[in-house]
């Protein structure tokens, strides 16, 4: 300990109880600032600082934080004192006995912080730390073997080292062992063992271990599925200020998973998550010393952002813009990107929390869907803070390098809607294909895919869950309409599911404001024909009521468990019939209450259709009405044969959004047919 024991003792409780890195760093740095001994900031002072940081870490005053935390603490202090960090490097190079000093030096080499980047040297210093029986050293060696950092990638060795770290009592290592068993990395996959290790990490107070226990309970991974317990553990991790936990708590409240549905509480937790992420990003970017000590040619040190949701997630090249210094650095970084100026403006906008992802950060990329305007991929991005792979969706907009305005419009739509209502499907940022130069939206990943591909399974659910799902869709439509926007391409392929109880409206590429829609004049429309309202087929502008018509078709599909019948080869005839009153067939024994609502939604007169708010309120009322629930359940039993009837439909080709010319559609076709 240094000679400022009294100051340290006075602040020790604050530091020990802190769950916020910035607060902890401020408390710690203040100790030195108040001690006159360090005003000259000599080499001895540096030695004392580093030793004190190591002491804090060893004594678990900064437990369970990012391993690079000490670099952040040191960096913030150096900025306050306006000192060159080369002194830290010199001290670390001369210290051969403190394992935490070896970790600091390894991190500096690994990230190129204050010294030329050298991953082989980083690995060597992690080894030195492990040789001194440092649990964190073993854990970092495992991390290096996992990613091939300074050593040839070897997943089995990665497992051995994180297991050693766990045996030494490291909560981080314990979580990592659970992760290896969970995904079969370097060891035979065993989900039950994964759960046990996650549970151990949770008992040790590790936030992401607690989160992972909740995840296992939600999806029945290594333990019997229990959504109530899932919510409890998510809530615990959220209370530890874990952003992923906050996101899951919000999702549970939004979708009624393990807790009573409550949109106000969902919004509250989404907002807390956003603020937490802003803090985490700001901890580095707002105090980055690199802008002072790096040359202009060198890249500003990268940040990890533990956004998730179910993914969750900013890239390692993401930058924050949450305060003055971070905003300046972010602006400089954005201006160096080879992207259009209009896109740069969105990144710089302070109210948006967007990240730029290098495409190299994504692994295990696989196509999961293709539409008329975009192809969607599933990918994994490794969250180095949570030590977990985070699934994300990558939406590639076809020829977005040539049609950047369309891409920016959709990106901005997600940003604007998400900013005003964080319960909406989240867009984490942008990436770019190196070969085609087309842009990707990096989106929240929906585990169950689109509604259309899950209709048969959803039709078998009980009506409380189906009403909850319908209410989720109505809620998102209400969010869109409340901001004076129209979706214009609403169909079951654009409804994404995190679970069979949780739905989000996606694909905002055709979103438009009501005032622009009323003035638009085109030779055709984009969309999937069975979902397009008759007035739109008759060359009338899209309105909010047109979206309600589309919603009625989705209601029909959820009821009967199959896509609405449609043959593309009979397209012209179908359009004419819709305009003349044709609607999907309502089978005998369908519940009257449900039938009446569907009919209202697809009424020929748009003005007689209910609003999204009225639909949302209706579903909320039905969920608490035992008479209605009984009527719906009894109806389901009588419709069992119809729901189980297999229908051969080419979902991928017949139900893509595409351009439909007015020259061969709707009422405009009548003159041609009967001349």
Phi/psi at 345 (5° precision): -60, -35
Tokens 């030779």 sit on residue: 523
pTM confidence score: 0.67
Rounded average pLDDT over 38-67:
53
pLDDT tens for residues 521-532? Answer: 567 788 888 999
Q: Which of 267-276, 392-401, 417-426, 548-557 shows the highest mean pLDDT?
A: 548-557
Topology (CATH) of 217-285: 1.25.40
CATH 1.25.40.10 domain locations along the chain: 5-216, 217-285
3-class secondary structure, 520: coil
Q: Is 421 helix (H, G, I), strand (E, B) or coil?
A: coil
Measured between alpha carbons, how far apart are the two ends of the chain, in Å? 97
Alpha-carbon Rg for the chain, nearest whole angstrom, is 28
Report how far residue 93's alpha carbon sits from residue 89's, in angstroms, rounded to the nearest whole number.
Answer: 6
Say how far apart CA 528 and CA 554 lie, in whole Å: 12
Using DSSP, how many helices (H) and how many strands (E) does the chain show? 31, 15
Joined together, the tokens standing for residue 17 give 């109880």
Per-residue pLDDT at 291 exceeds 70 = no
Average pLDDT over residues 373-380: 88
Annotate 364-379 with b (16+ C-beta within 10 A) or e (fewer).
eeeebbebebbbbbbb
Q: Give mean pLDDT, residues 154-183.
A: 93
Angle value at C-alpha 31, between 29 and 36, nearest 5 degrees: 110
Structure tokens at 369: 């869907």
Adjacent-strand bridge partners of 440: 396, 431
Q: What is 300-444's CATH topology?
A: Phosphorylase Kinase; domain 1 (3.30.200)
Q: How far, in Å, CA of 273 to CA of 447, rounded? A: 21
Per-residue confidence (pLDDT) for residue 388, from 0 to 100: 63
Location of each CATH 1.10.510.10 domain in the chain: 449-674
Q: Looking at domain 449-674, which of 1.10.1060.10, 1.10.510.10, 3.40.50.1370, 3.30.1490.100 is its CATH number?
A: 1.10.510.10
Per-residue pLDDT at 78 exceeds 70: no
pLDDT at 431 over 60: yes
Q: Range(s) for CATH 3.30.200.20 in the chain?
A: 300-444
Cα dist from 112 to 86, 95, 125, 136, 298, whole Å: 12, 20, 14, 20, 10
Q: Where on the phi/psi map is residue 125: left (φ > 0), alpha (ψ -120 to 50), or beta?
A: alpha
Q: What is the pLDDT of residue 173?
A: 92
Question: H or E stretch including 192?
Answer: helix 191-203
- Residue 304 pLDDT more than 90? no
> 314: pLDDT confidence band, cut at 50, 70 and 90?
very low
Query: Which range (60-69, 464-473, 655-664) has the least confidence?
Result: 60-69
Beta carbons of 469 and 500 less than 8 angstroms apart = yes
In 3D space, the residue among 378, 376, 380 whose CA is nearest the CA of residue 395 turns out to be 376
Half-sphere exposure of 670 (CA within 13 A, CB side): 11
Give the whole-angstrom CA distance, residue 429 versus residue 50.
Answer: 36
Quick: pLDDT tens for 436-477. 888 899 998 998 999 999 999 999 999 999 999 999 999 999
Is the pLDDT assigned to residue 47 strictly greater than 80? no
Count of other CB atoms within 10 angstroms of residue 54: 19
Do 488 and 510 touch, CB atoms closer than 8 A?
yes
In sequence order, the 6+-apart residues with CB closer than 8 A to the CB of 92 are 50, 101, 102, 104, 105, 108
pLDDT reading at 87 higher than 70: no
The answer to whether the annotation marks 608 as part of a ligand binding site is: no
In this structure, is the dihedral angle defined by the CA atoms of residues 440, 444, 448 and 454, taken in order, positive or negative? Answer: negative
CATH of 5-216, one of 2.40.480.10, 2.40.50.140, 1.25.40.10, 2.60.120.920: 1.25.40.10
Give the integer Cα–Cα distance in Å for 32 and 670.
84
Highest mean pLDDT, choosing among 97-106, 128-137, 587-596:
587-596
Mean pLDDT score, 167-182? 92
């Amino acid at each position: 300990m240094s000679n400022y024991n009294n100051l340290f003792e006075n602040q020790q409780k604050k530091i020990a109880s802190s769950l916020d890195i910035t607060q902890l760093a401020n408390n710690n740095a203040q100790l030195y600032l108040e001690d006159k001994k360090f005003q000259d900031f000599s080499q001895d002072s540096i030695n004392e600082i580093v030793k004190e940081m190591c002491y804090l870490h060893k004594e678990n005053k900064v437990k369970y934080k990012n391993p690079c935390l000490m670099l952040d603490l040191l960096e913030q202090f150096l900025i306050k004192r306006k000192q060159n960090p080369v002194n830290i490097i010199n001290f670390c190079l001369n210290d051969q006995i403190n394992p935490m000093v070896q970790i600091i030096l390894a991190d500096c080499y690994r990230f190129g912080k204050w010294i030329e980047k050298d991953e082989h040297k980083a690995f060597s210093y992690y080894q030195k730390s492990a040789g001194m029986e440092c649990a964190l050293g073993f854990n970092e060696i495992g991390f290096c073997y996992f990613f091939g950092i300074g050593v040839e990638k070897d997943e089995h060795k990665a497992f051995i080292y994180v297991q050693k770290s766990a045996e030494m009592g490291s909560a981080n290592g314990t979580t990592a062992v659970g992760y290896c068993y969970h995904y079969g990395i370097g060891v035979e996959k065993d989900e039950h063992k994964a759960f046990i290790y996650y549970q151990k990490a949770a008992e040790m107070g590790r936030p992401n271990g607690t989160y992972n226990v909740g995840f296992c309970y939600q999806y029945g991974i290594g333990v019997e599925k229990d959504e109530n317990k899932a919510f409890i553990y998510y809530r615990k991790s959220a209370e530890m200020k874990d952003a992923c936990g906050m996101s899951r708590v919000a999702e549970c409240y939004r979708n009624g998973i393990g807790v009573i549905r409550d949109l106000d509480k969902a919004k509250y937790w989404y907002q807390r998550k956003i603020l937490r992420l802003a803090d985490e990003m700001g901890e580095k970017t707002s105090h980055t010393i690199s802008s002072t000590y790096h040359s202009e040619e060198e890249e500003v040190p990268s940040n990890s952002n533990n956004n998730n949701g179910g993914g969750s997630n900013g890239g390692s090249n993401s930058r924050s813009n949450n305060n003055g210094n971070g905003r300046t650095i972010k602006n400089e970084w954005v201006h160096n990107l080879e992207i259009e100026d209009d896109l740069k403006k969105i990144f710089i906008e302070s109210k948006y929390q967007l990240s730029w992802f290098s495409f190299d950060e994504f692994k295990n990329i696989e196509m999961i869907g293709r539409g008329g305007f975009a192809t969607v991929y599933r990918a994994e991005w490794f969250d180095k803070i949570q030590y977990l792979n985070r699934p994300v969706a990558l939406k590639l907009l076809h020829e977005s390098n040539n049609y950047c305005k369309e891409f920016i419009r959709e990106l901005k739509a997600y940003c604007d809607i998400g900013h005003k209502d964080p319960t909406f499907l989240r867009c984490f940022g942008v990436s770019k294909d190196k070969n085609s130069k087309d842009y990707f939206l990096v989106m929240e990943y929906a585990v169950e895919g689109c509604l259309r591909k899950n209709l048969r399974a959803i039709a078998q659910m009980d009506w409380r869950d189906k009403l909850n799902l319908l209410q989720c869709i109505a809620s998102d439509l209400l969010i869109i309409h409340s901001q004076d926007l129209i979706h214009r391409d609403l169909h079951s392929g654009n409804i994404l599911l995190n679970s069979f109880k949780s739905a989000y409206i996606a694909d905002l590429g055709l979103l438009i404001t009501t005032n622009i829609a009323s003035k638009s004049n085109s030779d055709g429309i984009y969309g999937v024909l069975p979902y397009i309202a008759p007035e739109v087929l008759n060359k009338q502008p899209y309105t909010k009521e047109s979206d309600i018509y589309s919603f009625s078709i989705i209601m029909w599909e959820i009821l009967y468990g199959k896509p609405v019948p449609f043959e593309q080869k009979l397209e012209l005839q179908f359009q004419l019939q819709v305009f003349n009153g044709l609607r999907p067939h309502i089978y005998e024994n369908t519940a009257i209450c449900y039938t009446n609502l569907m009919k209202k939604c697809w009424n020929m007169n748009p003005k007689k259709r209910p609003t999204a708010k009225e639909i949302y309120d209706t579903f909320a009322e039905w969920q608490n009405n035992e008479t209605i629930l009984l009527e719906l359940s009894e109806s389901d039993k009588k419709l069992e044969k119809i729901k189980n009837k297999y229908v051969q439909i080419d979902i991928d080709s017949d139900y893509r959004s595409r351009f439909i010319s007015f020259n061969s559609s709707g009422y405009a076709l009548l003159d041609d047919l009967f001349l």
